Amino acid sequence: QPFDLIIRNANVVTASDSFPCDIGVRDGRIATLALALELKSARHEIDAAGRTVTPGGIDSHVHLDQATGDGSIMADDFESGTRSAACGGSTTVIPFACQLKGQSLRAAVDDYQRRAYEKALIDFAIHLIITDPTEDVLYRELPELIAEGYTSFKIYMTYDALKLDDRQILETLSVARAEGAMVMLHAESSDCIAWLTERLLAAGHKAPRYHASSRPMLVEREATHRAIAMAELVDVPILIVHVSGREAMEQIRWAQSQGLKVYAETCPQYLFLTADSLGSDNSFDGAKCICSPPPRDAANQQVIWNGLENGLFEVFSSDHAPFRFDGPDGKKAHGEDVSFDKIANGIPGVETRMALLWSEGVRGGRITPQQFVALTSTNAAKIYGLYPRKGSIAIGADADLVIWDEGRAVHISNEMLHHNVDYTPYAGMQLSAWPAITLSRGEVVWDGEPRGAVGRGQFLPCDSPAPAQVRRRKTELPL
């Protein structure tokens, strides 16, 4: 029986190994890994001689077509967002279905499944965002949805429209524990931010750069500590998303050293941007880099690199939150004269994530190729219940692959990208790698041009993730 595709002479890298081989693909899956498939034939062949082949990226933190409620509109929907992801070497994305206060979780999921319907070019799973944890939501809807494959959800400790109070977080965590779901926490201290913002605005400090002053590291440190304490009390694993620097990392390191299952994610903006990216004067241009937590400084960039290298971080995702700079519905939705607290939070990055880390991390000598694969793909597959279908180059896994082009100068410009945002925070950076070919279930979706039909992407129901399972009770609580 012939293969549909053979990729010959690949230098395969997985999260644990590196080996030369040919990859035989049949029905969208990896059917054979062997040193010499030259006697076999295939309908299609790709010669990858001299090239590294990694698993396709899993971008486990992206916002697509998400309702914001403040007048701004996300620039990427499931079509442009997944196209951009594919062109940057990702073959799976996990966007969010965000519950509105007063809305049922089921209605939120149906809404986002409609937004995704016949649009995605690559496969996707969906995280929930829980903003209204009523009894019915927690004890009826959530267990049902988890059983249907929505096995991870995000909780916010800040943003008035999204945040839960500590009592609600404890109750929600206890349901995650009972049902074996992975909880992602946005850890920033809401009241500290509100108080600082009021003080800054009273002093006339309204330019975009004061966004960073309103969310200093201690605000993230305090919330991270509180999140860890609540997770310890309930005895449930958690994942702290978009960690920006040293202070939050110290809390996570401490928790991990106690044997607590506290996982952590970081993002490109904390490696390549600083608070100075939000502007050194009062110009509105800095709005392009407003995201939360804000990027810090050069010393913290190095600390983040250390955490990627030493295993503190499990996941490297983009937190792609796409808002246009110009136009009536993005960063300028309330005009250019508006105070920093009225500017939409978030930056684009789904397409640049993989190349930034391969170029500056692997080729820059900071992490190994295996660590790159773990951080951009394998660990996310395990943490969110997609492994081993996704996240590995193994027999039976989906043929989701990246064939790398290395050693050639790649100058980042927004024109080369395929998102629907009118800027990239990384414009002007010089990289030494970019995906040459991205394959999704054996189909070319990027080879210098975007390929693959709109709507070919499949919804991926997730298993209950093994890292979310509670093995033994550490504390004696009257639960």
> Given the rule CB under 6 A, which residues bind ligand URP?
63, 186, 242, 291-292, 319, 321, 345-346
- Contact track, Zn ion, 293-332, x by CB under 5 A: --------------------------x-------------
Quick one: 242 or 451, whose CB is closer to ligand URP?
242
Output the six-digit token pair for 359.
Answer: 């170029």
User: What's the min distance (Å) between Cβ of 312 and ligand URP?
Assistant: 20
Residue 201 gets the label, from left (phi > 0), alpha (psi -120 to 50) or beta, of alpha
CB of 347 to ligand URP, least distance (A): 7
Of 419, 330, 423, 320, the C-alpha closest to 70 is: 330
Residue number with CB closer to ligand URP (249 or 444): 249
Task: Give the one entry of Zn ion, ligand URP, none that residue 81 binds, where binding means its C-beta sits below a cut-off of 5 to 8 angstroms depending on kind.
Answer: none
Give me the least distance between CB of 321 and Zn ion, in Å please: 6
**Comparison of 63 and 390: residue with beta carbon closer to ligand URP:** 63
User: Which of Zn ion, ligand URP, none interacts with 84 (beta carbon under 5 to 8 A by kind)?
Assistant: none
Name the residue type at position 240.
I
The torsion defined by the Cα of 214, 216, 219 and 225, in degrees rounded to 10, comes to 170
Contact region with Zn ion (CB under 5 A), list: 180-188, 280-288, 398-406, 450-458: 180-188
- Shortest reach from residue 29's CB to ligand URP, in Å: 33
- Three-point CA angle 12, 14, 16, nearest 5°: 125
In the bound state with ligand URP, the residue whose beta carbon lies nearer, of 244 and 440, is 244
At residue 14, φ and ψ (nearest 5 deg) are: -115, -175
Residue 221 binding target from Zn ion, ligand URP, none, CB below 5 to 8 Å by type: none
**Cβ-based nearer residue to Zn ion, 184 or 431:** 184
Buried b (16+ CB within 10 A) or exposed e, 236-271: bbbbbbbbbbbbbbbbbbebbeeebbbbbbbbbbbb
If you count them, how many residues does the chain have? 479
- The alpha-helical segments, DSSP class H, found in 298-361 are 298-310, 353-356
Which CB, 242 or 390, lies closer to ligand URP? 242
**Which window, 173-181, 183-191, 199-207, 461-469, contacts Zn ion (CB under 5 A)?**
183-191
Q: How far, CA to CA in Å, does 390 sit from each of 66, 171, 373?
A: 25, 31, 12
Nearest distance, CB of residue 365 and ligand URP, angstroms: 29
Asked if 294 contacts 212 with a C-beta cutoff of 8 angstroms, the reply is yes
Q: Using the rule CB under 5 A, is 246 a contact of Zn ion?
A: no
- Pairing status of strand 3-13 against strand 52-55: parallel
User: Which residues lie closer than 8 Å to 364 by C-beta, 6 or more apart?
Assistant: none
Residue of minimal CB distance from Zn ion? 186
Q: Measured from the CB of residue 269, what is the shortest distance to ligand URP in angstroms?
A: 8
- The verdict on 186 binding Zn ion (CB under 5 A) reads yes
Distances (CA, A) of 479 to 177, 234, 464: 12, 9, 22
Distance in Å, CB of 434 to Zn ion, minimum: 24
Which residue lies nearer to ligand URP by CB, 132 or 265?
A: 265
Q: Is 4 exposed, middle or buried (0-12, 13-18, 19+ CB in 10 A)?
A: middle
291 interface partner picked from Zn ion, ligand URP, none, CB below 5 to 8 A per type: ligand URP
- Nearest distance, CB of residue 23 and ligand URP, angstroms: 35
Nearer to ligand URP, 291 or 362 (CB): 291
Q: Are 112 and 95 in contact (CB under 8 A)?
A: yes
Check residue 127 for interaction with Zn ion (CB under 5 A): no
Name which of 236, 160, 227 is nearest 477 in CA terms.
Answer: 236
182 interface partner picked from Zn ion, ligand URP, none, CB below 5 to 8 A per type:
none
Taking the complex as a whole, how short is the minimal distance between the CB of residue 67 and ligand URP, in angstroms?
12
Residue 184 or 433 with smaller CB distance to Zn ion = 184
Q: Is the peptide bond before 294 cis (omega within 30 degrees of 0)?
A: no
Q: In whole angstroms, how close is the CB of 446 to Zn ion at the nearest point?
A: 17
Q: Looking at this protein, which amino acid is placed at residue 298?
A: A
251 binds, among Zn ion, ligand URP, none (CB under 5 to 8 A by kind): none
The answer to whether 341 and 252 have CB atoms below 8 angstroms apart is no
Tell whether residue 59 is a contact of Zn ion (CB under 5 A): no
| The token pair that represents 15 in the structure block | 């999260």
Which segments of 187-286 are extended strands (E)? 238-240, 262-266
DSSP tag of 289: G
Nearer to ligand URP, 186 or 261 (CB): 186
Question: Using CB distances below 5 to 8 A depending on partner kind, what does residue 419 bind out of Zn ion, ligand URP, none?
Answer: none
Nearer to ligand URP by C-beta: 120 or 287? 287
Whether the CB-CB separation of 372 and 361 falls below 8 Å is answered with yes
Q: Which residues bind Zn ion (CB under 5 A)?
A: 186, 319
